[in-house]
Amino acid sequence: MDFEMHTVHLPRAGSTTSTYIAAALGVMFDTKRWNRDAVTEEQIKVIDTFFDTLFAGMNPADLALAPT
């Protein structure tokens, strides 16, 4: 793909209840083989809402990498 975006989610610092190290979400984009006419207005609204709310309500400090 032409572009990939990944977000990695880590347990809160000091968490003792998580059995996971991390979780990742990847979104892949193709800038050459897409068709704007094939995407409905409703689908565009869903896509826009997803990206607009990806980090909504999060404390900016939570987005920083934990010290190593």
Domain ranges for the chain, please list them: 3-13+22-58
Which pLDDT band holds residue 68 (cuts at 50, 70, 90)?
very low
pLDDT at res. 63: 61
30 within 8 A of 1, measured Cβ to Cβ? yes
The pLDDT tens digits for 7-66 are 888 888 888 888 888 889 888 888 787 777 888 899 889 988 988 887 777 776 766 654
pLDDT at res. 42: 93
pLDDT at res. 62: 65
- The answer, yes or no, to whether residue 1 has pLDDT greater than 80, is no
3-state secondary structure of 25: strand
